[in-house]
């Protein structure tokens, strides 16, 4: 009986269960869940396979393994995920930050340095991963908006635990902002929902069934939020300010076209680490 309470043997059984459920990273998932439940490091997992779990730890661990086997994202079960080298709290109701979004953050930080930008606003902020990084790495005045109170509760927690200096507003895109912001923002960032509605049923089950559709669904062609953000960005940006948008791999032409039609200049696209189009940047003209 005690055999089943040892790190080594419980990991083996959990790995088998997760493999049987079709989880690609069964061994790693089991290890991370165990580390979370026991509050131990990876080193302990490998060097002390004989260490015993308490009864409470055993049942907490198996509950998480069952949920993982049923498809729940690992990050929701752990309660956190890494982004730009920091640990963000996440859970049901908030989009899990993706590595691809780091490309947008790095671009925004570079622009801050090159153009001495100070004021940034992130629209559709979710966990707050974008604005919190911007406030930690250069911008002095940073805001985030989201329509979801649930998402904002995570954003506020993350801002506190990661020592950000972000003010959050609840509301629909720019409607959330005080009107005095008009014409005073250096940089607007957004990673809005951009999946075309018909594509949603084809997404991986753990995204489709567990992450909030509010954070994924970009309308019939996936471009609904870009249309609204791009149409309004000009009136909120300072002259010479920039709009940075994360896009899907096949949205470059459409989103660049919308920026051009809105009179924005210097439209450029940056690729992610897989070489796919990922971030569109556009600038409000210095002189009207």
Footprint of ligand GLN (CB under 6 A): 95, 97, 101, 124-127, 129-130, 191-193, 215
In the complex, minimum distance from the CB of residue 29 to ligand GLN, in angstroms, rounded to a whole number: 21
Tell me how far apart the alpha carbons of residues 232 and 137 are, in angstroms, rounded to a whole number: 26
Inter-residue contact 204 to 226 (CB < 8 Å): no
Tell me how far apart the alpha carbons of residues 111 and 185 are, in angstroms, rounded to a whole number: 13
Name the residue nearer to ligand GLN (CB basis): 172 or 266: 172
Residue of this chain nearest to ligand GLN (CB atom): 126
Name the residue nearer to ligand GLN (CB basis): 75 or 256: 75
Residues 6+ positions from 148 with CB-CB distance below 8 Å: 93, 94, 126, 170, 212, 214, 215
In the complex, minimum distance from the CB of residue 215 to ligand GLN, in angstroms, rounded to a whole number: 3
C-alpha closest to that of 151 among 95, 210, 102: 95
Q: What is 41-75 written as a DSSP string?
A: -HHHHHH-TTPBPPHHHHHHHHHHHHHHHTT--HH
Name the residue nearer to ligand GLN (CB basis): 53 or 155: 155
Name the residue nearer to ligand GLN (CB basis): 91 or 97: 97
Name the residue nearer to ligand GLN (CB basis): 61 or 88: 88
In the complex, minimum distance from the CB of residue 185 to ligand GLN, in angstroms, rounded to a whole number: 17
Inter-residue contact 92 to 154 (CB < 8 Å): no
In the complex, minimum distance from the CB of residue 6 to ligand GLN, in angstroms, rounded to a whole number: 38
In the complex, minimum distance from the CB of residue 288 to ligand GLN, in angstroms, rounded to a whole number: 30
């Amino acid at each position: 009986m005690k055999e089943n309470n040892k790190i080594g043997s419980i990991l083996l059984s959990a790995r088998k269960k997760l493999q049987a459920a079709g989880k690609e990273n069964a061994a790693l998932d089991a290890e991370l869940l165990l580390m979370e439940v026991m509050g131990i490091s990876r080193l302990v997992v490998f060097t002390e396979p004989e260490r015993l779990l308490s009864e409470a730890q055993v049942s907490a661990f198996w509950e998480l393994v069952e949920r993982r086997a049923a498809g729940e994202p690992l990050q929701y079960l752990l309660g956190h995920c890494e982004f730009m080298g920091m640990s963000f709290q996440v859970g049901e109701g908030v989009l899990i930050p993706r590595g691809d979004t780091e490309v947008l953050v790095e671009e925004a930080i570079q622009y801050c340095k090159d153009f001495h930008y100070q004021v940034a606003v992130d629209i559709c902020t979710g966990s707050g991963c974008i604005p919190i990084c911007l406030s930690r790495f250069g911008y002095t005045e940073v805001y985030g908006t989201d329509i979801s109170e649930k998402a904002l509760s995570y954003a506020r927690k993350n801002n506190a635990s990661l020592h950000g200096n972000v003010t959050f507003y609840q509301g629909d895109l720019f409607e959330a902002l005080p009107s005095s912001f008009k014409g005073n923002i250096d940089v607007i960032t957004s990673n809005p929902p951009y999946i075309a509605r018909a594509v949603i049923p084809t997404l991986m089950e753990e995204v489709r069934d567990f992450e909030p559709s509010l954070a994924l669904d970009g309308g019939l062609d996936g471009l609904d939020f870009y249309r609204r953000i791009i149409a309004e960005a000009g009136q909120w940006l300072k002259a010479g300010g920039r709009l940075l948008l994360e896009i899907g791999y096949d949205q470059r032409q459409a989103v660049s076209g919308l920026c051009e039609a809105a009179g924005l200049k210097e439209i450029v696209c940056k690729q992610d680490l897989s070489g796919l189009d990922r971030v569109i940047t556009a600038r409000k003209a210095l002189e009207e």
